[in-house]
């Protein structure tokens, strides 16, 4: 058997490659958004690997140094939670999401949203992804996209580590400025793209539904 470059590949090599790729897909498909976490610290080695995965995500050509991944644990995590929970929209949107979910348990999930708003689900670690602000709309879109590619990498690596994640976004300016300052970045120059809660899951959400109709392949070989 030959690869596209003409190099011979053994059947065992092809089987190993396929097994590896299927394993990666299983990790991706097994990831869940978690809003309740166990009171168990995240191992520092695992946290560093999660951050490394985020750092290796594609970056914006407009601001290659304009992304920061800030991990917060202990008192730094607690201080950040006190800032983030000042945003009134986090609980509002989570509750609306749960109440319109097709899985039922509306009151239970409404309570979960309220509890999450108080403590960020008791996640023992937060990773705040911040990006440089640019005045032009198109470069700023690239910068925000670079933030989300990093977050996706971190969520997948966390799942591979046996950890759970749940992402939070908010746009309240005063909260944004206070959190950016807490990260020792300059308000007005940096903005928080999202906050990733990370830890061991204390929840078992139902598997999400994904329709193959959302995938389109056109053309032929």
What tokens does 10 get?
């053994």
**CATH number of the structural domain spanning residue 163:** 3.40.109.10
Low-confidence ranges of the chain (pLDDT < 70): 1-9, 92, 95-110, 221
pLDDT single digits (tens) 137-175:
999 999 999 999 999 999 999 999 999 999 999 889 999
Alpha-carbon gap, residue 133 to 64, rounded angstroms:
13
Considering the domain boundaries, does residue 136 fall inside one?
A: yes
CA dihedral for 62, 127, 91, 35, sign (positive or negative): positive
Global pTM reads 0.86
pLDDT single digits (tens) 96-120:
666 655 555 556 666 777 788 788 8
Considering the domain boundaries, does residue 27 fall inside one?
A: no
Considering the domain boundaries, does residue 84 fall inside one?
A: no
Taking the chain, what is the end-to-end CA distance rounded to the nearest angstrom? Answer: 20
Question: Which residue from 199, 182, 194, 192 is spatially nearest to 34, judged by alpha carbons?
Answer: 199
Boundaries of domain holding 147: 32-74+121-203
Cα separations in angstroms, 111 against 36, 87, 134: 12, 18, 39
| E strand or H helix that includes residue 25 | helix 11-30
């Amino acid at each position: 058997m030959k690869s596209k470059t003409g190099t011979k590949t053994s059947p065992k090599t092809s089987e190993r490659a396929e097994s590896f790729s299927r394993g990666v897909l299983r990790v991706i498909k097994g990831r869940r958004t978690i809003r309740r976490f166990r009171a168990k610290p995240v191992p520092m080695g695992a946290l560093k690997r999660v951050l490394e995965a985020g750092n290796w995500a594609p970056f914006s050509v407009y601001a290659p140094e304009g992304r920061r991944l800030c991990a917060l644990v202990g008192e730094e995590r607690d201080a950040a939670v006190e800032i983030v929970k000042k945003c009134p929209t986090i609980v509002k949107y989570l509750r609306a999401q749960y109440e319109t979910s097709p899985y039922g348990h509306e009151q239970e999930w409404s309570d979960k949203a309220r509890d999450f708003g108080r403590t960020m689900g008791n996640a023992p670690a937060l990773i705040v992804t911040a990006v440089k602000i640019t005045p032009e709309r198109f470069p700023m879109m690239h910068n925000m996209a670079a933030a989300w590619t990093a977050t996706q990498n971190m969520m997948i690596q966390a799942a591979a580590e046996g950890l759970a994640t749940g992402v939070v976004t908010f746009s309240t300016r005063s909260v944004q400025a206070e959190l950016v300052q807490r990260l020792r970045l300059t308000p007005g120059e940096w903005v928080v793209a999202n906050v990733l809660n990370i830890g061991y899951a204390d929840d078992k959400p139902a598997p999400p539904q994904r329709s193959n109709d959302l995938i389109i392949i056109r053309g032929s070989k």
